[in-house]
């Protein structure tokens, strides 16, 4: 009854004696505070919007121009183009006030003109991508063109300190490749995967497509690239994510792991309080746009568009398509503990609660003797169900009454916190514990993660943390940045006993249970069916997390190889040994150098990588020849990665051409065939070092162990990796137990063997080179 009472701010009744009004002062005060906070955020957004609109110019420069124009005019000097007198011709009188107003308007005109000139000059500079293709490192020098470009961009960057969205209007649009370029790159990428006859067939079909229907489809894409800010992103979000009808659990959502080599607190409530506070501070920095945009090499900005939906966001199921709903503000989080759902306020008396106050609230939940209602403990399984089934259940059982209210509270929460009743463990001597750690984050029990939320923070009973994230609203590097900032600051927030620092200033509101109506027996049966289906999904997952500490990027750099290319070649060798042949390989690359950019596909299986892999399996090939082939493969891979980042990839263009063909109801068997080929090896590198707070050299133990995702193909592997230091790499390898050709443990062993063999290869190469030098000296 207490929850029901607090849910009503006021009520009134009409009697024979008149009006009878009842109201709750505390609830009305909360409503007032929420409104004040919302208006403060609106004002902050307006101020930030004006600042971003002027960037890279300063707002203060308007006052400087105004003073100069006014002084010139009133000292009888001619303002450039005599604009003040021109404005005076349309003023109602010749008084001093109208002269001053003309000066203000002319100043505003000059200032806007300067802002536009600076913005488009910066935009023109950011279009240049030649710097990416120039060799870097010892002994290599950039071209004169790149040097001049570098100086000019640096001048703009130093001119004014940017906010989170300051560069958005200056970022160039994603370029649209020609059909010929895309066909050429695609044919090259499939050459190692098919025999001569199939390849010749593809060559003919590609030529026919380019000269035929491809021209028509490309014309529509050209129009879209002119009209929209990004010709890919909106279709990618809709057709790849929102129209996907499979369960989000395992199939779409991804996870992130704690910094496993440090354990700042073993107290569950304390760790939850500290990390939640840090996440909310990050949310505030996004709202106020105080967060600096990520800069490549400290100079070139990345698009920050995806940060907007990090918090207060949920994916809402639909019969045919889902939708992403982002709430402008939220003053609460929702906590799941032992099958019960709690609304927990995060503001009190106009301020964000301190970590110790949040810890107090989490302790209230952990100490609660409440038990879940029948059906409540498996409720979150609905979000792990097929999307049409969940949409139907949502419409039937959650569109009215307390169920609708409670569901709204979950979906509008800043994020969801799951207080697990089991530990997340890590022990180098027992690798299966880390595997279990990953499984708990990827899918949990199938009923303790709200898979529709932008992310669920998972806090174990021993204080370890992780997250499970929905993929539609953003790509992994964005949440990786959030996570990295939280981990970097978290270790300083505890006393010697593991409790959060500080003292409780005001007793925070007690978390309240969400109310549900499960009296309808068919609803309980529906939830049970969703739970059973979720169990089938999670029981089929074969996840292995490999900790490779024999060497890391330190050794790779001594080999004069890009660490990413080095690892991708090792994966190609491992996959060939495991599967017996080459397969289409996916590596995610970002296109955030462009406005609203998301990802592009790099195809690591190339002609050069296949030649090197075959050479590694041929005992007659010398180490010198193998190393040369490896360098060729790494160089080709690096060029493919650079092309993808610069908007010269293959797959997003093909995808958009296919979407246009569907809109036009034009059948293209060629597009259908090439886009239906499964990605049996899907890979992704988790970036780190996105914040200056995290210095891997000073604090190597604070780096996250990365994260992972489920396999993209039913007969393939999903491999995520993070290069966590000079001598450490984490691989997250997933596959399905129901597939008889994949085995995550076996593939992990193949990766270890491949990395070991490459190191031995360079040792043999160095010996061969030493002998050559000795022979040359003796002669």
Which residue, 172, 190, 86, 169, is CA-closest to 673?
190
Q: Give yes or no for a contact between 486 and 275, defined as CB atoms under 8 angstroms apart.
A: yes
What SS3 class is residue 777?
helix
Around 216, how many Cα atoms within 13 Å sit in the side-chain half-sphere? 15
Provide the 10 A C-beta neighbour count for residue 742. Answer: 23
Element (H, E) at 197: helix 196-211
How many Å separate Cα 390 from the centre of its chain?
25
Provide the 10 A C-beta neighbour count for residue 594. Answer: 25
Strands 416-419 and 340-345: unpaired
**471 carries an active-site annotation:** yes
Catalytically annotated residue among 443, 471, 548, 653: 471
Provide the 10 A C-beta neighbour count for residue 99. Answer: 18
Q: Among positive and negative, which fits the CA dihedral 731, 732, 733, 737?
A: positive
Q: Give yes or no for a contact between 510 and 342, defined as CB atoms under 8 angstroms apart.
A: no
Beta pairing partners, 343: 334, 512
From residue 265, how far is each of 171, 269, 467, 499 by CA, in Å?
42, 10, 17, 7
Q: Give yes or no for a contact between 362 and 268, defined as CB atoms under 8 angstroms apart.
A: yes
Element (H, E) at 735: strand 728-736
Maximum pairwise Cα distance, the chain: 120
Q: In angstroms, rounded to a whole number, what is the distance separating the alpha carbons of residues 352 and 273?
A: 12
What SS3 class is residue 7?
coil
Place of tokens 């709430």: 327
DSSP state of 495: -
Q: Give yes or no for a contact between 469 and 256, defined as CB atoms under 8 angstroms apart.
A: yes
Catalytic residues: 471
């Amino acid at each position: 009854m207490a929850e029901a009472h607090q849910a009503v701010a006021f009520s009134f009744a009409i009697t024979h004696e008149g009006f009878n009004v009842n109201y709750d002062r505390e609830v009305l005060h909360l409503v007032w505070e929420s409104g004040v906070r919302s208006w403060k955020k609106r004002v902050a957004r307006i101020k930030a919007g004006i600042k971003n609109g002027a960037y890279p110019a300063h707002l203060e420069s308007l006052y400087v121009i105004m003073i100069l124009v006014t002084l010139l005019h009133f000292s009888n000097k001619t303002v450039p183009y005599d604009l003040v007198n021109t404005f005076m011709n349309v003023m109602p009188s010749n008084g001093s006030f109208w002269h001053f107003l003309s000066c203000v308007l002319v100043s505003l005109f000059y200032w806007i003109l300067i802002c536009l000139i600076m913005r488009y000059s910066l935009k023109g500079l950011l279009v240049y991508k030649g710097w990416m293709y120039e060799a870097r490192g010892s002994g290599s020098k950039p071209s004169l063109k790149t040097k001049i470009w570098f100086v000019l961009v640096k001048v703009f960057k130093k001119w004014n300190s940017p906010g989170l969205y300051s560069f958005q209007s200056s970022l160039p649009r994603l370029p649209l490749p020609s059909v010929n370029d895309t066909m050429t790159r695609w044919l090259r990428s499939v050459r190692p995967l098919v025999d001569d006859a199939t390849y010749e067939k593809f060559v003919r079909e590609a030529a026919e497509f380019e000269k035929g229907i491809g021209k028509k489809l490309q014309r529509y894409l050209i129009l879209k690239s002119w009209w929209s800010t990004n010709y890919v992103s909106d279709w990618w979000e809709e057709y790849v994510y929102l129209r996907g009808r499979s369960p989000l659990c395992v199939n779409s959502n991804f996870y992130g792991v704690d910094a496993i080599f440090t354990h700042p607190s073993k107290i569950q409530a304390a760790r939850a309080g500290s990390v939640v506070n840090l996440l909310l501070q990050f949310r505030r920095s996004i709202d106020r746009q105080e967060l600096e945009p990520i800069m490549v090499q400290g100079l070139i900005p990345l698009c920050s568009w995806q940060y907007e939906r990090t918090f207060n966001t949920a994916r809402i199921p639909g019969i045919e398509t889902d939708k992403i709903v982002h709430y402008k503000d939220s003053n609460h989080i929702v906590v799941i503990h032992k099958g019960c759902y709690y609304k927990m306020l995060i503001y009190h008396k106009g301020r964000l609660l301190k970590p110790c106050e949040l810890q107090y609230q989490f302790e209230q939940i952990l100490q609660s003797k409440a038990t879940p209602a029948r059906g409540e403990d498996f409720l979150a399984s609905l979000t792990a169900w097929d999307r049409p089934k969940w949409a139907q259940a949502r419409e039937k059982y959650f569109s009215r009454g307390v169920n609708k209210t409670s569901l709204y509270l979950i979906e509008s929460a800043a994020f969801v916190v799951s207080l697990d009743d089991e530990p997340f463990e890590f022990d180098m001597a027992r690798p299966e514990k880390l595997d279990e750690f990953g499984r708990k984050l990827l899918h949990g029990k199938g009923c303790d993660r709200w898979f529709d939320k932008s992310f669920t923070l998972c806090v174990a009973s021993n204080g370890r943390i992780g997250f499970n994230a929905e993929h539609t609203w953003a790509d992994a590097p964005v949440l990786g940045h959030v996570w990295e900032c939280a981990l970097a600051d978290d270790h300083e927030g505890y006393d010697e006993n593991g409790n959060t620092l500080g003292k409780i200033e005001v007793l925070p509101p007690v978390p309240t249970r969400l109310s549900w109506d499960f009296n309808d027996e068919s609803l309980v049966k529906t939830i049970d069916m969703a739970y059973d289906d979720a169990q089938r999904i999670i029981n089929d997952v074969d996840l292995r997390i490999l900790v490779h500490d024999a060497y890391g990027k330190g050794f790779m750099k001594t080999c004069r190889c890009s660490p990413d290319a080095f690892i991708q070649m090792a994966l190609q060798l491992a996959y060939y040994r495991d599967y017996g042949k080459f397969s289409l390989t996916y590596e995610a690359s970002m296109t955030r150098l462009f406005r609203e950019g998301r990802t592009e596909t790099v195809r690591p299986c190339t002609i050069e990588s296949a030649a090197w892999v075959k050479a590694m399996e041929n005992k007659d090939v010398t180490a010198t020849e193998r190393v040369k082939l490896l360098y060729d493969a790494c160089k080709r891979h690096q060029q493919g990665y650079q092309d993808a980042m610069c908007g010269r990839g293959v797959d997003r263009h093909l995808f958009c051409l296919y979407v246009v063909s569907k809109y036009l109801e034009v059948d293209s068997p060629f597009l259908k065939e090439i886009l239906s080929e499964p990605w049996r090896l899907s890979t992704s590198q988790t970036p780190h070092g996105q914040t200056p707070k995290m210095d891997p050299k000073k604090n190597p133990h604070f780096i996250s162990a990365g994260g992972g995702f489920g396999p993209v193909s039913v007969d393939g592997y999903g491999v995520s990796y993070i290069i966590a230091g000079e001598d450490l790499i984490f691989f997250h390898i997933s596959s399905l137990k129901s597939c008889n050709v994949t085995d995550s443990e076996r593939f992990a062993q193949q990766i270890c063997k491949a990395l070991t063999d490459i190191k031995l290869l360079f040792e043999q190469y160095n010996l061969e080179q030493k002998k050559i030098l000795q022979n040359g000296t003796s002669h």
